[in-house]
Amino acid sequence: MIRSVLIVVTANVRLLVLGTNRLVFALHGTKRFTSFVQRVHTTVLALLGLGVEIFTCAQARMEYRETEYNTDLTKVHHTNYVRNSRAIVVLWAIFTCIFFILNVVVWIQPQWIGDTGDSAVAGFFGLYKYCVETSVGSDFICNGDFISWESILNSYFKATSVMVGVSCLLSIASIACFLLFCLVNTATVLRICAWLQLMSGLLITVSCIVYPGGWDHSQVRQVCGLKSGSYNIGECGMRWGYALAIVLIFDAFILCILAFVLAAKQANLLPEIYKKEKEALKD
């Protein structure tokens, strides 16, 4: 912009000097005076040209410094972005491990439903294991083992046990995929883990829906009363295991969505100009 202004000023001064030269020549008509005016004209134009060059060099230097500043600023922003992105990935990995631990707890603990103050017999039920008090004040007798398939009360509890167990395996697989961070792109690993967590969340969701179908068993009615049946808990109440399973559904979907978002927002590689600078430094 400064250069353009100086060029316009130079042109106007040139026209002014030429007009003055012609006017003086017309008035005086002497060649010596005209020669003097021409020399002044040439000197003024030379000084203006020098000024244009000086301001042009100064402007170019300022633009170079601004570009250099913007380049350094871009590097700083990129470094901060990568650091924050990695911190969020680490937090996601920690919560994934916590999800796996809670998933296992939900699977093995027989605390999905249990007796209340209105129940005739004290007892509680899990996915494949259940405990019932034989007499008032006596110890609980627990039965059911996932390895012993016939010891599980009914097909609903069997299906729920399998689905939650597979959900645990998917959680282990997602944690094992952390080793792939050293081998493949981070976004690829996050997408794989996201799909595993999505399937794990769906399995837990279906398990929570199917599980109440097995409440019509005689052992459940012994604790929950004769009014209990499929999707009718009777005189029993929901225990912390069932509530934790419902919480894990939301946890799985949140982790899944976060993994997909992190995979989509992974920081791009540095531009080619930075790569060339690194290669130049190596050379």
Rounded to 5°, the CA angle 204-209-212 comes to: 120
List the one residue out of 112, 127, 196, 187 whose CA is nearest residue 161: 127
Say how far apart CA 113 and CA 133 lie, in whole Å: 15
Collapsed DSSP state (helix, strand, coil) of residue 9? helix
Which are the contacts of 170, defined by CB distance < 8 A and separation ≥ 6? Answer: 196, 197, 199, 200, 203
Q: Decide if domain 86-282 falls under CATH 3.40.1390.20.
A: no
Say how far apart CA 201 and CA 195 lie, in whole Å: 10
Return per-residue pLDDT of the chain as tens, 283 residues. Answer: 444 544 544 554 454 455 455 544 444 445 554 565 555 556 655 555 555 455 455 455 545 444 444 555 566 666 666 677 778 888 999 999 999 999 999 999 999 999 988 787 889 999 999 999 877 667 888 898 888 888 899 999 999 999 999 999 999 999 999 998 888 888 899 999 999 999 999 999 999 999 999 999 989 998 988 888 899 998 999 999 999 999 999 999 999 999 999 888 775 544 555 555 555 555 5
For residues 262 and 85, is the Cβ–Cβ distance under 8 A?
yes
Say how far apart CA 85 and CA 172 lie, in whole Å: 24
pTM equals 0.68
Collapsed DSSP state (helix, strand, coil) of residue 92? helix
